[in-house]
Structure 1
């Protein structure tokens, strides 16, 4: 064999090996993507949404035989996590686990938002619903919601309500109630549940909107009174507390207000991948062990088709958008 022939043969072999190596690397990357599903949570580890997401990730891992992890990206009311998912590859490997605020609040509370939540986040399904309650100080002369509203109208300068922070659902629930009931409760924002409940117990504030999970202990102890809760049905753990809707006091949007956590992919994800993700999630949520673990966190377990979830998102966007815009409230 001549030198030139040997060189040509060597180049051909190296080319073949290089091509094979490149193909193997591409296949390895694809397999890694298929093996690992990353669920991004916009809040610190240890919180309620983090716990729920880990329960779901564990079940998806066991169910599909592929890796599923939770990655926490806290900050900006969950917006940092949402932006990371919007920018991710549209292969279904990176998902956002987020509350209702991602699609119903972000478009209205942020002055500048680099993405459109209704376009750039593809809905997969809700996985849990949760409820807020209107709690009042036990010293108020109000046995029920109708009494409280009458009292609040008659004492406009003396009644206020606490929230979990400006721009949170509890803030706008108070606004929603004021608008519907003709009350003028002043808003007092707090940094979370603990300080709000402390001031409610002490009488600094007369009322507060908070989640049923956060208020449960004080209510069971008889140190606060719960007048009504959001959602279509009473909480199984609070069977004696009525919903706003069932009281039929003509309170409009608050009677239909419902709160949820859901999974999203980046908006560019192909339909077949979204369908597969929806099917995997719904199968996971049907598992009795998963339902038991989630229910223990005082949430309702739900699962939707993608079309159902999209309709819910649009209805919530319309419902909360009008309330938020009426306040003129924004965040930087």
Structure 2
């Protein structure tokens, strides 16, 4: 979609309002509440993080933020809405690994370009997956799992929260790097995936700490590895996927702030400064850990470079796997 000077600003109610050119508004910013578009339903980590950002921007930055949840179709409509918004600092997107890196390779036709239509402003949170198996299975390590899988291709099943989700793509990346082949069983969300894993209907999954930690601690699931770059504070005994021998299988879901392209640099910098301070606040870091994530304190060009590297990684993974959604 080609942006044009006549587009309008997105309000928290989803209505369109006559816009004023962004460049002329930076000096008096903010004159009204800012809409934070969240491409996920209420209650999940993206929503929780959005509300943490809203509270901190109000308290520390003097900016009132309205959280606008728009969970449909993998977050694509929400992302398109933000892409079309007036670039005046009054619309900010909580972009995710899906909406900003992998969806463009999973969906046949998106009406926005995540690289062209947005400024990658600020990283927020990185969320590793945990490779878990039913505790009744004999595998005590990633090595055990891979040894069996190589000798028995296609006999192990891996569940996910759905085709193209982070839980699915983490499994595809691991299979490619480990030289194994699992049978993918997609579900409509993490809850039914985990339920069937607990019941022994599937063998493993790569899901998030918030979905797996209680069952790991109860001894019903066995954690073999975490896919992030560091061990999780809640699971200090569980090695990273790199420590288990597969550094190229490292993967995370992540969340960051994105502004419509051409948003004044001064406004973007103000958010970067305030959010940068938030990510150094022990109370905010503790809240992020309780969500199952770790801070992702990348800002400006380093964050943009990270996002571009993610696009390249997931493009290759998706093309190799043949995954598609529509």
**TM-score (structure 1 length as normaliser):** 0.86
Report the equivalent of 1:222.
219
Matched, 1:58 2:45: no
- Aligned partners of 1:314 and 1:66: how far apart in 2? 29
- Aligned partners of 2:323 and 2:288: how far apart in 1? 33
Root-mean-square deviation (CA, aligned residues, Å) is 2.0
Q: Which runs of 4+ in 1 moved over 4 A?
A: 30-33
Matched, 1:85 2:70: no
- Aligned partners of 1:154 and 1:298: how far apart in 2? 34
- Aligned partners of 1:305 and 1:281: how far apart in 2? 9
Preserved contact between residue 135 and residue 225 of structure 1 (Cα < 8 Å): yes
Unpaired segments ≥5 residues, structure 1? 1-26
- Aligned partners of 1:66 and 1:238: how far apart in 2? 36
Q: Give the structure with the larger helix fraction.
A: 1
- Aligned partners of 2:222 and 2:279: how far apart in 1? 33
Please say which structure displays the higher CA radius of gyration.
1
Report the equivalent of 2:287.
293
Matched, 1:194 2:194: no
**TM-score (structure 2 length as normaliser):** 0.88
Preserved contact between residue 34 and residue 93 of structure 1 (Cα < 8 Å): no
- Aligned partners of 2:162 and 2:252: how far apart in 1? 19
Report the equivalent of 2:4.
none
SS of equivalent residue, structure 1 residue 203: coil
Post-superposition offset of 1:92 = 1.1
Preserved contact between residue 41 and residue 50 of structure 1 (Cα < 8 Å): yes
- Aligned partners of 2:276 and 2:224: how far apart in 1? 34
Matched, 1:138 2:132: no
- Aligned partners of 2:109 and 2:96: how far apart in 1? 20
Q: Summarize the Cα distance change of 1:243–1:278 in structure 2 as closer, same or farther, 3 Å threshold.
A: same
Post-superposition offset of 1:238 = 0.4
- Aligned partners of 1:267 and 1:110: how far apart in 2? 22
SS of equivalent residue, structure 2 residue 68: strand
SS of equivalent residue, structure 2 residue 71: coil
Alignment of 1:265-284 (within 5 A): 265-284=259-278
Preserved contact between residue 123 and residue 299 of structure 2 (Cα < 8 Å): no
Post-superposition offset of 1:286 = 2.7
- Aligned partners of 1:78 and 1:183: how far apart in 2? 31
Post-superposition offset of 1:252 = 5.2
